[in-house]
């Protein structure tokens, strides 16, 4: 669909949500009955970014839209829901691509047969790691960590999403144990004859539960969450694993102590797997994904009286093979969120120090962001 056609569709849907009488109760909602309804939302994140060059020590300067999303969710029958989201990510960032237009970011439907069993199909997040499954509106720090997205390009994953079918459910007590298993498209080669991608994610919540498509990064002191999780992603010779400890703990009078510790292991494969007869090399090694162990630590403290949340982070990519160790890299950063109106209007600033292995010089990055969101 052409970009201007999508624009007219978005404008018409937004206008309908505002004008129809059903969109009452301060919610962009069209309600047909208890089982059929449609809900609209949007997200804008404007970024100003200054990234230092390793050679001439100058700074690349960018003012752009990191995310500009239109969202629709709804129900079409008892237990049958859907979610659709467009985005034109990094709009205006150099080199400019002004004619790229909106893309389909998420498009899935879910049939919930019981609390412990639901079927999803469409384009959705790969169920692999906690940080990768967090909502973009509420990250503990500025954004998703690069160590959580290492797999994306080598595995032909679109912004950590892939097409396929997913089984998910909530078990034990009030749904303390969540599972997700997805059979996804992955890399298709030579007539699509290689095996599908398999991804799985398991999370146990010790206190409050988390239910939904994505997880919250910071809850601003409103929930008591402590959970552990593990994930797997693989296709043919490629495989990856993740493990995570996450917490949001209300403290004092409305404050929150938040953080997470995450480990991920990636391995693009060491030897060509057996190929079907006549396949002609239908699955090659993911040479762009060398074996590595990556780490992420995030910490934040929300001061409710000041609507202020300072944070810090440390992350590392550590390669296994001797000939890859030169690519090891550490990053650490500090910053803060200021919540003017919760997540609906938020200001963020972050300083990041990027430390590759010598002889490459360390660099700095300064980022300032503003978020406007409603859903």
- The answer to the question of residue 138 being in a domain is yes
Cα–Cα dist 300/308, whole Å? 10
Summarised one tens digit per residue, pLDDT across range 356-371 is 987 889 999 999 999 9
Q: Say if residue 176 is preceded by a cis peptide, omega within 30 of 0.
A: no
Cα–Cα dist 90/79, whole Å? 35
Nearest to 211 by CA among 247, 180, 255: 180
What is the domain extent for residue 325?
A: 47-67+112-374
Pairwise pLDDT comparison (149 vs 156), residue with the higher score: 149
Question: Which H or E element spans position 311?
Answer: strand 308-319
Which CATH number characterizes residue 359's domain?
A: 2.40.160.10
- The answer to the question of residue 259 being in a domain is yes
**pLDDT mean across residues, the chain:** 89
The pair of structure tokens assigned to 179 is 């599972």
Structural domain total, the chain: 1
- The answer to the question of residue 166 being in a domain is yes
Summarised one tens digit per residue, pLDDT across range 282-336 is 555 577 899 999 999 999 999 999 999 999 999 999 999 999 999 999 999 999 9
Nearest to 167 by CA among 180, 178, 183: 180
Q: What is the CA radius of gyration of the chain?
A: 22
Helix (H, G, I), strand (E, B) or coil at 27: coil
Summarised one tens digit per residue, pLDDT across range 91-150 is 999 988 776 789 999 999 999 999 999 999 999 999 999 999 999 999 999 999 999 999
- The answer to the question of residue 86 being in a domain is no
pLDDT reading at 23 higher than 60: no
- The answer to the question of residue 228 being in a domain is yes
- The answer to the question of residue 363 being in a domain is yes
* 370 close to 341: Cβ distance less than 8 angstroms: no
Task: List, in order, residues 6 or more apart from 222 with CB less than 8 Å away.
Answer: 250
Stretch among 5-9, 140-144, 175-179, 246-250 having the lowest mean pLDDT:
5-9
- The answer to the question of residue 39 being in a domain is no
- The answer to the question of residue 165 being in a domain is yes
pLDDT of residue 89: 93
């Amino acid at each position: 669909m052409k970009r201007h056609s999508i624009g007219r569709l978005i404008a018409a849907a937004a206008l309908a949500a505002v004008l129809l009488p059903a969109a009452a109760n301060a919610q962009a909602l069209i309600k047909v009955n208890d089982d059929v309804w449609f809900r609209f939302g949007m997200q804008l994140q404007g970024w100003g970014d200054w990234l230092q060059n390793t050679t001439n020590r100058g700074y690349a300067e960018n003012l752009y839209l990191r995310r500009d999303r239109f969202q629709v969710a709804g129900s079409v029958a008892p237990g049958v829901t859907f979610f659709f989201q467009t985005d034109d990510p990094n709009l205006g960032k150099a080199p400019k691509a002004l004619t790229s237009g909106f893309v389909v970011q998420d498009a899935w439907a879910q049939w919930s047969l019981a609390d412990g069993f639901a079927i999803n199909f469409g384009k959705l997040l790969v169920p692999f790691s906690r940080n990768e499954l967090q909502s973009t509106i509420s990250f503990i720090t500025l954004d998703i960590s690069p160590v959580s997205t290492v797999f994306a390009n080598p595995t032909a994953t679109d912004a950590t999403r892939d097409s396929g079918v997913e089984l998910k459910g909530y078990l034990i007590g009030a749904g303390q144990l969540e599972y997700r298993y997805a059979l996804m498209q992955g890399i298709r080669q030579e007539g699509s004859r290689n095996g599908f991608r398999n991804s799985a994610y398991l999370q146990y919540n010790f206190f409050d539960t988390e239910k939904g498509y994505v997880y919250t990064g910071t809850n601003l002191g409103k929930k008591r969450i402590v959970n552990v999780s593990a994930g797997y992603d693989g296709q043919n010779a490629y495989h990856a694993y993740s493990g995570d400890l996450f917490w949001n703990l209300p403290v004092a009078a409305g404050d929150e102590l938040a953080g997470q510790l995450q480990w991920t292991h990636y391995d693009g494969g060491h030897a060509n797997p057996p190929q079907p007869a006549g396949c002609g090399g239908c699955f090659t090694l993911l040479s762009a994904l060398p074996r590595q162990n990556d780490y992420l630590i995030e910490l934040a403290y929300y001061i409710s009286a000041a609507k202020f949340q300072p944070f810090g982070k440390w992350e590392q990519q550590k390669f296994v093979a001797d000939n890859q160790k030169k690519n090891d890299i550490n990053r650490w950063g500090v910053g803060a969120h200021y919540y003017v109106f919760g997540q609906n209007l938020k200001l963020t600033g972050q300083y990041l120090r990027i430390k590759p292995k010598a002889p490459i010089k360390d660099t700095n990055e300064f980022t300032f962001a503003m978020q406007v969101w409603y859903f």
